[in-house]
């Protein structure tokens, strides 16, 4: 919330909690993407729109609004993962030959593995921050840790099948918990009470 004041009037600008739409975007894209990893669907062509509009755009919108609330943690989290899904969508476009045969054939999958490692590092320190936010958010970040660990190792060919499955199930469970987190953000705010519990912060680091 911010105040715009003048000598004659005071206008209050209210920014709603953006976590609901951000977590919904995360839930949707991980649900669709995990369906492919688990073998329930095939290919990535029809995951791309969800990656761009839900995984990326919805979380970027949440990032901007968390920034207005001076929430560095929320803005960094939603912004960081929004750009991840933009990158993933572009990667799938390359792998599907949208940018031509040459770039598709010369793509080195290990570069994607290094990107996953970078996001694993990012998620680990964001998980520490999530400990002092809520237990539901902490669980979400732990599941993202598991997802990136599985993606990193499977991309580098380390126990590939095992860690691919580990990433797939982590992503699917992440989707379900993110739906819950989004529902809690909507309904708790709508009813003005804790309709769906999210768990208190651990209180260890603060």
Q: What is the pLDDT of residues 165-198, one digit of tens each?
A: 999 999 999 999 999 999 999 999 999 999 999 9
Q: In the prediction, which pLDDT does 8 show?
A: 59
What angle, rounded to 10 degrees, do the helices at 19-37 and 135-155 form?
A: 30
- Lowest-confidence range among 10-14, 47-51, 95-99, 140-144? 10-14
Residue 98 makes CB contacts below 8 A (sequence gap 6+) with: none
pTM here is 0.91
Average pLDDT, the chain: 94
Q: Is it the case that residue 9 has pLDDT exceeding 70?
A: no
Q: In the prediction, which pLDDT does 173 show?
A: 98
Structure confidence at residue 2 as a pLDDT band (50, 70, 90): very low
Helices (H), 38-108: 48-50, 59-68, 72-95, 101-106
**Beta-bridge partner residues of 13:** 2
Residue 128 makes CB contacts below 8 A (sequence gap 6+) with: 205
């Amino acid at each position: 919330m911010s105040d715009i004041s003048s000598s004659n009037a005071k206008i209050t600008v209210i920014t709603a909690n953006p976590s609901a739409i951000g977590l919904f975007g995360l839930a949707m894209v991980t649900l669709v993407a995990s369906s492919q990893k688990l073998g329930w669907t095939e290919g990535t062509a029809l995951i791309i729109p969800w990656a761009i509009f839900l995984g990326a755009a919805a979380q970027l919108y949440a990032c901007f609004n968390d920034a207005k609330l001076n929430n560095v943690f929320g803005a960094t989290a939603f912004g960081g993962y929004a750009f991840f899904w933009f990158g993933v969508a572009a990667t799938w476009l390359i792998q599907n030959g949208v940018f031509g045969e040459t770039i598709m054939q010369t793509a080195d999958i290990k570069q994607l593995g290094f990107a996953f490692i970078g996001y694993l590092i990012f998620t680990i320190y964001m998980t520490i921050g999530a400990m002092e936010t809520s237990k539901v958010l902490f669980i979400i970040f732990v599941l993202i840790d598991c997802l990136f660990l599985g993606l990193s190792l499977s991309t580098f060919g380390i126990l590939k099948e095992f860690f691919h499955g580990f990433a797939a199930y982590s992503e699917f469970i992440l989707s379900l918990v993110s739906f819950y987190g989004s529902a809690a953000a909507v309904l708790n705010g709508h009813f003005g009470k804790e309709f769906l519990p999210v768990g208190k912060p651990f209180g260890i680091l603060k």
